[in-house]
Amino acid sequence: MENQSKLTIQPGSTIGMVGGGQLGRMFAVAASAMGFRVMILCDDANAPAAQVAHQTVLGDLNDMEAVERFAQQCDVITLEFENIPAETIARCGEHAPTYPSAQVLATAQNRLIEKSTLRDAGLPVTPFRSVCDLDSLVAAGDELGWPMIVKTATSGYDGKGQAKVSNPLEAEAIQWDHCDQWIAEKCIGFDLEVSVVVARTVAGVVSAFPVFENAHRNHILDLSIAPARIEQSVATRAIEVAKCAAETLDVVGLLCVEFFVSDGEVMINEVAPRPHNSGHLSIEGCETSQFEQHVRAICNLPLGSTELRSSAAAMINLLGDLWQDDGTPPVWSDALQDPTISLHLYGKADAKPGRKMGHMTTTGASAEQLERRLLEARRQIGD
């Protein structure tokens, strides 16, 4: 117990967040509520997280002078997203414990390394091959079968940096010079997409949220519901695999594991070592939000309960498409006519199609009821 207490960061300490977007914003709100000071490193004084943090250090993530000023003032440091320069993480780690670690990031930043690591640990992943040109892609197609999803090994999110190819003729359209490494994955027929958010502390204590059921639109998460409408045995298996993935990768903080569910089996699609869009419903829906759980995990505090507060909870994304061409926002009071709806806006100045500007949540008796409520609330503001 004494050794574990030495690893604990107590409220009143300063937590550093690398990145100023909406995940950093919601993390800062949760950490502040627990009595921590939050310091943000980002390049925009009006970034979503900077608007609510105690202090912001302005600078590019490659600006080592800014990184030094930031890290020297922190007791523990965490990250908003995966694609952060390795030197930045190394420099942060010289001054304060930094989670997730550089090793975890190196794995998460490369889909080939990520998939290989999980596969080698015996976890179920979508079949894949490393490809670099048309010939290797055609060979992968002959082996895995067409169609395939071709992705850049690095960068890319919300469907960016990837394409579905159904035959060798379509494969000719891939712009190979856009990336040095590529991965081809077998296109999986699935019944449902789900995700599991797992928290793991510095001491190795692991806890998982309920399985979230996810629906996408134009490759962007649209709606999440908990608990997922799957058999209990499938949910148990998904949580078990997600916990194993967190331990395999040695994650401290949160790990979201996205799965395909097909014929009662789960298969890992992607992982992200951070809070996840699908977990936003936990803010109102669970005893402990994913953001508070992230704080607890990196500070080595006892993890909170992940139980749902009601029979079901759900979230729907609000994209920039809802704003008018001149930037006029929706009339939010129209959505809030339903008293069960909670609104979260991220403070982003510029609305663009496909850009995540906020979300709405609700809780209640059934997934079907909540889905209808959220879709109707969004329809009221122009969807």
- State how far the Cα of 76 lies from the Cα of 73, in Å rounded to an integer: 9
- Find the CATH number of the domain harbouring 298: 3.30.470.20
- Find the CATH number of the domain harbouring 7: 3.40.50.20
Which tokens belong to 78? 């965490």
Residue 3: predicted pLDDT: 47
Residues 212 and 268 reside in one and the same domain: yes
Domain stop point among 99, 114, 136 = 99
Residue 1: predicted pLDDT: 39
User: How do beta strands 14-18 and 76-79 pair?
Assistant: parallel
Q: Reduce the DSSP state of residue 55 to 3 states and report it.
A: strand
Residues 305 and 372 reside in one and the same domain: yes
Q: Domain containing 163: what range?
A: 127-186
Cross-strand partners of 200 = 206, 253
Residues 245 and 332 reside in one and the same domain: yes
- State how far the Cα of 202 lies from the Cα of 313, in Å rounded to an integer: 29
The sheet that has 55-58: what strands, in order across it? Answer: 55-58, 37-42, 14-18, 76-79, 98-99
Looking at the domain assignment, is residue 136 inside a domain? yes
The continuous run of DSSP H or E covering 314 comes out as strand 312-319
Residue 333: predicted pLDDT: 97
CA nearest 208: which of 159, 259, 157? 259
Looking at the domain assignment, is residue 352 inside a domain? yes
Q: Residue-wise over 43-78: b if at least 16 C-beta within 10 A, else e?
A: beeebbbbbbbeebbbbebebeebbbebbeebbbbb
Note whether 40 and 101 are within 8 A (CB).
no
Residues 355 and 213 reside in one and the same domain: yes
Residues 152 and 233 reside in one and the same domain: no
Looking at the domain assignment, is residue 114 inside a domain? no
Residues 22 and 170 reside in one and the same domain: no
Work out how many domains the chain is built from and give that number: 3
- State how far the Cα of 278 lies from the Cα of 272, in Å rounded to an integer: 12
Residue 159: predicted pLDDT: 55
Residues 259 and 196 reside in one and the same domain: yes
Residues 201 and 341 reside in one and the same domain: yes
Residues 259 and 323 reside in one and the same domain: yes
Per-residue pLDDT of the chain (383 residues; tens, 9 = 90+): 334 555 899 999 999 999 999 999 999 999 999 999 999 999 999 999 999 999 999 999 999 999 999 999 999 999 999 889 889 999 999 999 999 999 999 899 899 999 999 999 999 999 999 999 999 999 999 999 999 999 998 876 655 678 899 998 988 888 888 888 899 999 988 999 999 999 999 999 999 999 999 999 998 999 999 999 999 999 999 999 999 999 999 999 999 999 999 999 999 999 999 999 999 999 999 999 999 999 999 999 999 999 999 999 999 999 999 999 999 999 999 999 999 999 999 999 999 999 999 999 999 999 999 999 999 999 999 98
Looking at the domain assignment, is residue 116 inside a domain? no
- State how far the Cα of 315 lies from the Cα of 350, in Å rounded to an integer: 22
What is the identity of the amino acid at 212?
F
Domain stop point among 171, 186, 201 = 186
Residues 65 and 145 reside in one and the same domain: no
Cross-strand partners of 365 = none
Note whether 298 and 78 are within 8 A (CB).
yes
Q: What is the pTM of this model?
A: 0.94
Residues 236 and 151 reside in one and the same domain: no
- State how far the Cα of 24 lies from the Cα of 137, in Å rounded to an integer: 38
Looking at the domain assignment, is residue 275 inside a domain? yes
Q: Report the interhelical angle of 232-249 vs 111-120 (nearest 10°).
A: 110
Residues 35 and 76 reside in one and the same domain: yes
CA nearest 210: which of 295, 123, 312? 312
Looking at the domain assignment, is residue 120 inside a domain? no
Looking at the domain assignment, is residue 62 inside a domain? yes
- State how far the Cα of 371 lies from the Cα of 160, in Å rounded to an integer: 27
Looking at the domain assignment, is residue 263 inside a domain? yes
